[in-house]
C-alpha cells in the first residue's frame, strides 16, 4: 500500500486519483477530518509536526509519497516564519522518515522543490542534480534541509529515498499567480508582458504525478535526486500566448520594455511578483528521462487545454 501525505492538496489529490485508476491500494494522511477523499481510501488525520508518533499510521504501508508541508508563502505579510518552515518541512519530514525506516517502509518519495537549489538561473544554464544547492528563502532552506536528512537516513537504513524537485506545477485546480494569469487572459485584460525574453521550466500536473508514480517502484530511482519538467522551456510572453490559445483567444500583450516594468514594480511594491515574471528559472530533466526512461504524458498545450475544459 502507498501512503500519500497532503492528499487533498493540488498535487496530492491528483496523485491519489492516478493511483486509484491504476488499481493501486492507497491510504492518505490529511490534516482536516472534514476533507473529502475518494471512496475506498483509508484516511488518517494528523498534523505534520516533529512530535507526531507515526506508528499507527504506518501499519500496512510499503511506500510513502510525502507531498505535505508548509507551502511557499508569496505574501509579504504572511505570519509564517523561517522557524515554521523548518519545524514542519525539515524536522517533521525527517522524524516521519526515521519512523518509516524503523517500521520497514521500503521507499520514501519526497516532493521537494526547485527552490532547494535557488530562485533563478542564467539563460541557457539550467539547474542540474550536479549543482551545489543554494536556497535563498526559508521555504527553500527547509526543503533542502529535509533532503539532507532523508539522504542520511537512506545511508543509515535499508529504506530507499527518492527526492523530486519540481519547478512551477500547473494543472486543473492551480492557484495563486498562475490562476490569476489565466483569468486575465480569459477576460481579455491587456497585459504589459509582450516583450519578455526569459525562459521558465514548468511541469504539468499530469506529468508530475506520472513521474511520482514511476519513482515509487523503479529500481534505478532509489536514493536519487531528480529535477523534472515538461522539457519545453518558455518565456512569460510565450506562456501567455499558449494560455490564450487554450481559450481560443488572442492574448492582448503590450511590448513594454522590462526596464520600465521593473521601475513600475518597485513603485507599486510588486517587485517580487514582477521579478518572477521577468526572471529565468530552468531545470535540466535529462537524468529523469535517461535513467528512468521517463517521457511526459502530456504536452504543455494539452495540459493547458485540459485546464480550460475542466473549468466548464
Among 44-58, 80-94, 273-287, 290-304, where is mean pLDDT lowest?
44-58
User: If you count them, how many residues does the chain have?
Assistant: 312
Q: What is the DSSP letter of 66?
A: E
Higher pLDDT, 80 or 34: 34
Q: Which 8-state DSSP code applies to residue 200?
A: B
**Do 201 and 118 contact (CB within 8 A), yes or no?**
no
Sign of CA dihedral 180, 181, 184, 190: positive
The alpha carbon of 131 is separated from its chain's Cα centroid by a whole number of angstroms, namely 19
- Higher pLDDT: 83 or 153? It is 153
Asked if the model's pLDDT at residue 190 lies above 80, the reply is yes
The catalytic residue positions are: 139
Residue 4 has pLDDT above 90, yes or no: yes
Q: Is the pLDDT of residue 200 over 50?
A: yes
Average pLDDT over residues 41-50: 77
Which is more confident, 83 or 247?
247
Q: Which three cell numbers stand for residue 217?
A: 517502484
Domains of the chain, CATH where assigned? 2-172+202-231+282-297 (3.40.50.720), 176-197+235-278 (no CATH)
Q: Using 50, 70 and 90 to split pLDDT, how confident is the model at 156? A: very high
Percent of the chain topping pLDDT 70 = 96
43: confidence class by pLDDT, cuts 50, 70, 90: confident
pLDDT of residue 35: 80
Distances (CA, A) of 24 to 2, 162, 241: 8, 19, 38
pLDDT (0 to 100) of residue 30: 85
pTM (two decimals):
0.93
For residue 38, CA distances in Å to 171, 203, 226, 312 come to 19, 25, 29, 22
Residue 72: per-residue pLDDT: 64
**Geometric angle at alpha carbon 288, from 283 and 293, rounded to 5°:** 145
Distances (CA, A) of 82 to 67, 106, 140: 19, 31, 10
- How much is the pLDDT for 75? 47
pLDDT at 173: 93
As a whole number, mean pLDDT of residues 234-259 equals 96
| Chain segment 63-90, per-residue pLDDT in tens | 999 999 988 654 444 445 568 899 899 9
Report, as an integer, the average pLDDT of 44-65.
82
pLDDT(113) > 60 = yes
Q: Give the pLDDT confidence score for residue 78 in this predicted structure.
A: 47
- Which range in 21-30, 169-178, 268-277, 284-293 is most confidently predicted, on average pLDDT? 284-293
pLDDT at 42: 81
pLDDT of residue 57: 84
Tell me: pLDDT of 100 over 70. Answer: yes
Grid cell 525527517 is found at 94
pLDDT digits (tens, 9 = 90+) for 212-221: 999 999 999 9
Whether the predicted pLDDT of 60 surpasses 70 = yes
On the question of pLDDT at 131 being above 50, the answer is yes
Amino acid at each position: 500500500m502507498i501512503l500519500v501525505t497532503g492528499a487533498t492538496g493540488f498535487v496530492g489529490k491528483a496523485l491519489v486519483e492516478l493511483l486509484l485508476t491504476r488499481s493501486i491500494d492507497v491510504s492518505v494522511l490529511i490534516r482536516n477530518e472534514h476533507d473529502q477523499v475518494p471512496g475506498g481510501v483509508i484516511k488518517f488525520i494528523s498534523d505534520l509536526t516533529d512530535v507526531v508518533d507515526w506508528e499507527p499510521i504506518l501499519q500496512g504501508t510499503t511506500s510513502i509519497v510525502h507531498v505535505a508541508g508548509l507551502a511557499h508563502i508569496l505574501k509579504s505579510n504572511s505570519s509564517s516564519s523561517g522557524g515554521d518552515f523548518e519545524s514542519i518541512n525539515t524536522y517533521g519530514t525527517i522524524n516521519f522518515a526515521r519512523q518509516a525506516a524503523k517500521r520497514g517502509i521500503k521507499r520514501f518519495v519526497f516532493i521537494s522543490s526547485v527552490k532547494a537549489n535557488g530562485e533563478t538561473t542564467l539563460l541557457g544554464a539550467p539547474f542540474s542534480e550536479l549543482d551545489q544547492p543554494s536556497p535563498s528563502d526559508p521555504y527553500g532552506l527547509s526543503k533542502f534541509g529535509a533532503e539532507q536528512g532523508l539522504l542520511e537516513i537512506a545511508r543509515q537504513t535499508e529504506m530507499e529515498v527518492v527526492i523530486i524537485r519540481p519547478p512551477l506545477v500547473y494543472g486543473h485546480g492551480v492557484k495563486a499567480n498562475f490562476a490569476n494569469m489565466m483569468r486575465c487572459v480569459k477576460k481579455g485584460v491587456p497585459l504589459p508582458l509582450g516583450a519578455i525574453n526569459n525562459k521558465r521550466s514548468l511541469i504539468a500536473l499530469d506529468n508530475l504525478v506520472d513521474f511520482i508514480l514511476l519513482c515509487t517502484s523503479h529500481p534505478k530511482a532509489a536514493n536519487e535526486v531528480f529535477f523534472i519538467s515538461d522539457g519545453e522551456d518558455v518565456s512569460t510572453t510565450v506562456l501567455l500566448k499558449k494560455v490564450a490559445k487554450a481559450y481560443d483567444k488572442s492574448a492582448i500583450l503590450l511590448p513594454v520594455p522590462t526596464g520600465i516594468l521593473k521601475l513600475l514594480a518597485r513603485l507599486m511594491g510588486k517587485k517580487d511578483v514582477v521579478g518572477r515574471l521577468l526572471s529565468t528559472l530552468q531545470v535540466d530533466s535529462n537524468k529523469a528521462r535517461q535513467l528512468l526512461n521517463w517521457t511526459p504524458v502530456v504536452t504543455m498545450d494539452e495540459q493547458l487545454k485540459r485546464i480550460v475544459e475542466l473549468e466548464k
